[in-house]
């Protein structure tokens, strides 16, 4: 029997029993749709988690904190100082792309008639490109920059005109742009103000430093960079040396070293003859590591926490979210698989009923010369056609249900979040191309497997018994 004849005959046989065929196809459609939709819900949840985590910061960024400035963990484990030697060790960990210490410094900034109090974050310029900090105006920090800065998009909101009125401060206008202003900073928070009778005043005035804003950065409104100023690490370190010296001249304790968020490598200050020695072996409070690949992040965190440092990364939240939803995803997938198993049983039942009804027909086909493989191919094609039609309809129904779930925002992960580009609506259901292709392939294959045993049954029918069948 030719292949073309077998194809024609298989379709003809299915059409002769339209109602049974339609019901079986509907079963495959529902089973296929159930699997696709259930998987799409789980995929959408993971995509939404990834989107939300990315808005919190670079998912491949790891923050390392100097636990209690060295010493011991609550479990009594010795923790080495987070110093340059440890930074060099971090660079040897598999998967680490770059390492930078972080310095924070609070200053007073003057921009024309406006004044603001800002936090400066010092990072290495070459690291800036790797931290995935979006530049929304101007340019990023570059190697060779000194007294240059990029400004968080919300920093300008903290500026005001202190001389506008005796009774209130006038905030800067909405179009106030620090990139267009001549800027100076001072670590003397009273700089430029008239002495207050009885108030605390500096004995030695701190000289202001001219700086230049070259760019504005912003992420989601939840990033520390949105509310801070970023400058080269070496520049901020130099400022802190000068601040230490000025603080000491004004009688500051411990060489004028200021805590509460002002972090520095005190060993450098000691070498320069600035500040006390109590913290000379403490190291940095915070270090940032950039992983080369997302798959390296967890292993890097494990290696660092093993030493005794505290780490955090957006990926930890992502992993936690995945664990929390793993059970739900398995339940959804299980429902889909059970639906398709029921559909497969329906296909097998249809094939067995068809064999029983066509026993005499099968015997005649064998008598006129049909080979066993022709018989098998005929019934396998019939099962395959059911899978093809059911798969096509199932995928179509899946897209329709996915559209409706997203349109009405069924809360299985769907919501809205704010991004620099505006409000983004998260999807409740997402069907990637690979899932569509997998469904088109899976449905016919599963149907063929369901038709395998019935086709073998048809092959084994005795010709004599078949011909005696009424």
If asked whether residues 247 and 159 sit together in one domain, one would say: yes
Q: What is the rounded distance in angstroms from the CA atom of residue 439 to the CA atom of residue 445?
A: 10
287 and 159 housed in the same domain: yes
Q: What is the pLDDT of residues 232-249, one digit of tens each?
A: 999 998 998 898 888 888
Mean pLDDT of 275-283: 45
Q: Does residue 185 belong to any structural domain of this protein?
A: yes
Query: Residue 148's pLDDT is what?
Result: 94
Q: Identify the weakest region by mean pLDDT among 218-232, 241-255, 392-406.
A: 241-255
The residue among 342 and 181 whose pLDDT is bigger is 181
Judge if 300 and 370 occupy the same domain.
no
pLDDT of 39 above 50: yes
| pLDDT for residue 414 is more than 60 | no
What's the pLDDT score for residue 96? 92
Query: How far is it between the farthest Cα atoms of the chain?
Result: 121
pLDDT band for position 272 (cuts 50, 70, 90):
very low
Q: Residue 408: what pLDDT?
A: 77
Whether residues 17 and 80 share a domain: the answer is: no
Q: Which of 100-104, 263-267, 340-344 has the lowest mean pLDDT?
A: 263-267
- In terms of pLDDT, which residue wins out, 122 or 276? 122
Does a structural domain hold residue 320? no
Is 451 in the same domain as 338?
A: yes
- Domains of the chain: total: 2
> Distance between CA atoms of 130 and 96, rounded to whole angstroms?
12
pLDDT higher at 169 or 21: 21
For residue 260, being part of any structural domain is answered with yes
pLDDT range class, residue 269, cuts 50, 70, 90 = very low
Q: Which residues span the domain enclosing 117?
A: 61-312
pLDDT digits (tens, 9 = 90+) for 87-125: 999 999 999 998 988 888 899 999 988 999 999 999 988
For residue 324, the model assigns a pLDDT of 67
**74, pLDDT greater than 90:** no
For the stretch 187-229, pLDDT in tens is 888 887 766 555 556 677 788 899 999 999 986 556 788 889 9
Q: Is residue 65 part of a domain?
A: yes
209 domain-assigned: yes
pLDDT above 70 (res 422): no
Compute the C-alpha angle 48/31/35, nearest 5°: 20
Q: Kindly state whether residue 317 falls inside one of the protein's structural domains.
A: no
pLDDT, greater one: 14 or 43: 43
Q: With pLDDT > 90 as the criterion, what percentage of the chain qualifies?
A: 19
Residues 88 and 202 in one domain: yes
The answer to whether residue 24 scores a pLDDT higher than 70 is yes
pLDDT at 202: 66
Residues 383 and 246 reside in one and the same domain: no
In a domain, 268, yes or no: yes
Report the predicted TM-score, pTM, of the whole model to 2 decimal places. 0.59
Pairing assessment for the beta strands 183-186 and 310-312 based on DSSP bridges: unpaired
Contact predicate 79/67, CB 8 Å? yes
Same domain for 160 and 65, yes or no, is: yes
> Residues 128, 21: one domain?
no
Q: Which of 166-180, 239-253, 324-338, 368-382 has the lowest mean pLDDT?
A: 368-382
pLDDT confidence bin for 261, thresholds 50/70/90: very low
Reply yes or no on whether the pLDDT at 271 is more than 50.
no
Task: Place 370 in a pLDDT band, splitting at 50, 70 and 90.
Answer: low
Q: Which region, left, alpha or beta, applies to residue 116 given φ > 0 means left and ψ of -120 to 50 means alpha?
A: beta
Q: Return the bridge partners of 104, or none.
A: 121
Strand locations in 182-285 (E): 183-186, 209-217, 229-232
* Helical segments of 288-371, H only: 297-307, 314-357, 359-367
Domain boundary among 281, 312, 343: 312
* Claim to verify: residue 131 and residue 222 sit in the same structural domain: yes
Residue 259 has pLDDT above 50, yes or no: no
Which one has a higher pLDDT value, 179 or 320? 179
Kindly write down the DSSP assignment for every residue of 62-128, as one continuous string.
EEEE-GGGSEE-TT--EE--BSHHHHHHHTTSTTEEEEEEEEEEEEEEEETTEEEEEEEEEE-HHHH
Give per-residue pLDDT as tens, 438-470: 888 888 888 777 776 766 665 555 555 545 555
Q: State whether 295 and 371 are in the same domain.
A: no
pLDDT score at 213: 94
Per-residue pLDDT at 262: 35
Q: Is residue 13 part of a domain?
A: yes
pLDDT of residue 181 exceeding 70: yes
Listed residues 261, 289, 312: the one ending a domain: 312
29 and 92 both lie in a single domain: no
């Amino acid at each position: 029997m030719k292949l073309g004849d077998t194809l024609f005959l298989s379709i003809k046989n299915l059409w002769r029993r339209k109602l049974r065929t339609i019901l079986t196809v509907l079963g495959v459609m529902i089973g296929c749709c159930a699997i696709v939709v259930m998987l799409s819900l789980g995929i959408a949840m993971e995509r939404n988690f990834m989107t939300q985590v990315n808005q919190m910061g670079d998912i491949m960024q790891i923050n390392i904190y100097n636990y209690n400035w060295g010493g011991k963990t609550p479990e009594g484990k010795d923790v080495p100082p987070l110093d340059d030697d440890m930074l060099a060790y971090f660079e040897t960990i598999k998967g680490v792309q770059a390492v930078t210490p972080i310095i924070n410094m609070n200053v007073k900034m003057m921009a024309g008639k406006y004044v603001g109090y800002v936090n400066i974050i010092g990072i290495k310029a070459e690291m800036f490109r790797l931290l995935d900090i979006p530049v929304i105006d101007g340019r990023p920090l570059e190697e060779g920059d000194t007294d240059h800065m990029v400004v968080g998009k919300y920093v300008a909101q903290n500026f005001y005109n202190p001389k506008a009125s005796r009774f209130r401060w006038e905030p800067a206008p909405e179009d106030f742009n620090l990139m267009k202003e001549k800027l100076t900073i001072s670590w003397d928070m009273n700089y430029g103000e008239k002495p207050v009778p009885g108030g605390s005043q500096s004995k030695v005035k701190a000289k202001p430093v001219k700086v230049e804003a070259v760019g504005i950065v912003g992420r989601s409104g939840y990033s520390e960079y949105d509310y801070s100023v970023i400058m080269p690490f070496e520049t901020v370190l130099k400022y802190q040396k000068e601040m230490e010296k000025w603080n000491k001249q004004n009688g500051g304790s411990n060489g004028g070293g200021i805590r509460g968020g002002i972090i520095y490598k005190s060993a450098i200050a000691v070498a320069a003859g600035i500040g006390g020695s109590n913290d000379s072996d403490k190291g940095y409070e915070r270090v940032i590591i950039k992983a080369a690949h997302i798959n390296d992040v967890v292993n890097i965190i494990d290696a660092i926490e093993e030493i005794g440092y505290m780490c955090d990364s957006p990926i930890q939240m992502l992993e936690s979210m995945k664990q929390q939803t793993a059970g739900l995803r398995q339940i959804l997938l299980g429902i889909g698989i059970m639906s398709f198993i029921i559909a497969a049983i329906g296909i097998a039942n249809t094939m067995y009923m068809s064999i029983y009804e066509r026993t005499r027909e099968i015997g005649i086909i064998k008598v006129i010369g049909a080979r066993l493989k022709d018989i098998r191919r005929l019934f396998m094609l019939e099962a395959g056609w059911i899978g093809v039609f059911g798969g096509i309809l199932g995928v179509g129904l899946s897209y329709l249900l996915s559209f409706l779930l997203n349109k009405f925002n069924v809360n299985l992960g769907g919501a809205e979040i704010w991004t620099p580009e505006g409000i983004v609506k998260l999807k409740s259901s997402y069907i990637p191309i690979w899932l569509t292709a997998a469904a088109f392939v899976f449905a016919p294959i599963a149907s063929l497997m369901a038709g395998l045993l019935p086709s073998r049954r048809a092959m084994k029918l005795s010709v004599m018994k078949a011909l005696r069948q009424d």
